[in-house]
Amino acid sequence: MDDATKDIPASAGALAFPRLLLLENRKAGGASESGIAHRLRDTGREVVAPDTSSIEEACAVVRKKSGDVDLIVVAGGDGSVNGLLSCLMEASVPSLVVPRGTGNDFARSLGIPLEGDDALSLLDTGILADVDVSFANGKPFVNAASVGLTAQVTKYQTPEQKSRFGAVSYIVSALKAVRLTRPFRAEVFNLDEPGAKSLKMRCVQLLAGNGRYFGGGMVVHHETRIDDGRIYLYALKPASTFALILHGPLIGLGRVDLSPEAVVASGTGFRLDTRRPLPVHADGERLTQTPVTFEVKHRALKVLASKEFAAP
C-alpha cells in the first residue's frame, strides 16, 4: 500500500477525527431528519452541523470551517456529492460520505456500507484514500458522465419516481429510455493520441466513467478503479429495443466490451463532438452539453473509504 492510502490511527485513548463538520441533505432519496448528528455526538466527537438550504450555503460553510475540523461528513446521495465536489477538493481535510441517495454509486466505489448509518463505522475502521475526479467541460464528476441512453434515464429519474420505486426506479426509467432514445452521430478524439485518427460512429449511448459504478450499481468496466487515473469510455451502437435490453447484464457486470455492438476505450482524456448539441449528465445531474471534453485529475479528492477499497 502506498502513502496515499493508509490505516487511520485509532486507540482506546484517543478518537480518530475528534472534530467533525456534518453536511446533511435531508431531501436526498426522500429522507427526513436522520438524527445523524446525535449519533456522531454520542461517539464523543465534537460536531458542527450547520443548517444549510443550498449547495452554495454548504460550500460557504466548508470554506469557512474546514480549517477547524478533522473530517467533513456528507450525508446525501450522488447529487449532493457532485454539488459539493469543488469545495471538497479545496478543503484541507478528508470527507466521509454517508449514503442517503437512491443510487449511492460514489459510496459503492469506495466500499462504503449502504445500510442505515453503517458508514459511520469507518470513522474508526476505515482508511484514507486519494481518489480521482473527472471533468466534463471543466465541471467535476465522480461516477460517470453520459450522452444518450443513460442521460435519458437520469432525465426520467424524477424525485416522485425515486420516492415511489426506490432503487427499482432506475429499471423503470431505463425501460422508458430504451424505447424513446434516438441514435446520434458522434466523433471521439483520444487526447492521449493527438495525431491519431478520430473515431466516428452512430450510437445510442456514450459513457465516460470515472468511478467503478453508475446508475445504482451498474459497473462502468470490470477493471475500473476510482483511483487509477483513467477515464473508461464506451459507446453502444444502435440496435433493436430487445437487443439493447439484452445488453443490461453486460453493462451491469462491466463487460460491455464483450458486445459486438459496443466500442470501448480508456485514457486520461477524450473530446466528443456531435452533429447537434446534446445534454451531458453526470452523478444524476445535468452538467453541460456537447461538444464536451472529458479529463481526469488523478487523486484529487481525499476521502475515507473501507479497508476493502485498498485491496487490488
Q: Where are the domains of the chain?
A: 6-131+301-310, 139-298
Compute how many other C-beta atoms are within 10 angstroms of the C-beta atom of residue 74.
27
pLDDT of residue 42: 92
In sequence order, the 6+-apart residues with CB closer than 8 A to the CB of 295 are 134, 135, 191, 231, 268, 269
Q: Which of 9-13, 95-99, 163-167 has the highest mean pLDDT?
A: 95-99
302 φ, ψ to 5°?
-95, 130
Strand partners, 207: 146, 234
- Indicate the length of the chain as a whole number: 312
- Residue 195 is classified by DSSP as T
Q: Which three cell numbers stand for residue 123?
A: 470513522
Average pLDDT, rounded, for the chain: 85
Reported as a pLDDT band with limits 50, 70 and 90, residue 77 is very high
In angstroms, the CA 124 to CA 45 distance is: 12
* Dist. CA 193–CA 241, nearest whole Å: 35
Name, in order, each residue with C-beta under 8 angstroms of 17's C-beta and a sequence gap of 6 or more: 8, 45, 70, 71, 123
In this structure, the number of other CB atoms found within 10 A of the CB of residue 109 comes to 27
Whether 8 has a pLDDT exceeding 50, the answer reads no
* Confidence bin at 170 (pLDDT 50/70/90): low
Q: Is the pLDDT of residue 286 over 80?
A: yes
pLDDT per residue as tens digits for the range 147-168: 987 666 666 565 665 566 555 5
Measured CA to CA, the distance from residue 289 to residue 146 in angstroms comes to 10
Asked if residue 268 has pLDDT above 80, the reply is yes
> Following DSSP, what letter does each residue of 148-164 receive, concatenated?
EHHHHHHHH--HHHHHH
**pLDDT, mean of residues 180-187:** 84
Question: Does 291 sit behind a cis peptide bond, omega within 30 degrees of 0 on the bond before it?
Answer: yes
- Report, in angstroms and rounded to the nearest whole number, the Rg of the chain calculated over CA atoms: 20
pLDDT tens figures, 220-230: 999 999 999 99
116, 172 contact by CB (below 8 A): no
Tell me the CATH number for domain 139-298: 2.60.200.40
- The cell for 74 is 456528507
Return the higher-pLDDT residue of 113 and 10.
113
Q: What is the pLDDT of residue 65?
A: 95
* pTM for the predicted model, two decimal places: 0.84
**Lowest mean pLDDT across 97-106, 125-134, 181-190, 234-243:** 234-243
Segment 103-115 shows an average pLDDT of 94
Q: Give the three-class secondary structure for 219.
A: strand
Burial class (CB in 10 A: 0-12, 13-18, 19+), 241: exposed
Percentage of residues in the chain having pLDDT higher than 70: 79
pLDDT class of 274 with cuts at 50, 70, 90: very high
| Among the ranges given (33-47, 231-245, 258-272), the one the predictor scored with the smallest mean pLDDT | 231-245
* 137 vs 230: CA distance, rounded Å: 17
Q: Which of 52-56, 69-73, 232-236, 260-264 has the lowest mean pLDDT?
A: 260-264
- pLDDT bracket for residue 300 (50, 70, 90): very high
Q: Contact at 8 Å (CB) between 169 and 102?
A: yes
Look up residue 142 and give its DSSP letter.
S
Q: 71 - beta bridge partners?
A: 20
Indicate the fold that domain 6-131+301-310 takes in CATH. Answer: Rossmann fold (3.40.50)
What cell does 21 get? 463538520
Mean pLDDT of 256-271: 90
Of 50, 57, 60, 51, give the one whose Cα is nearest residue 21: 50
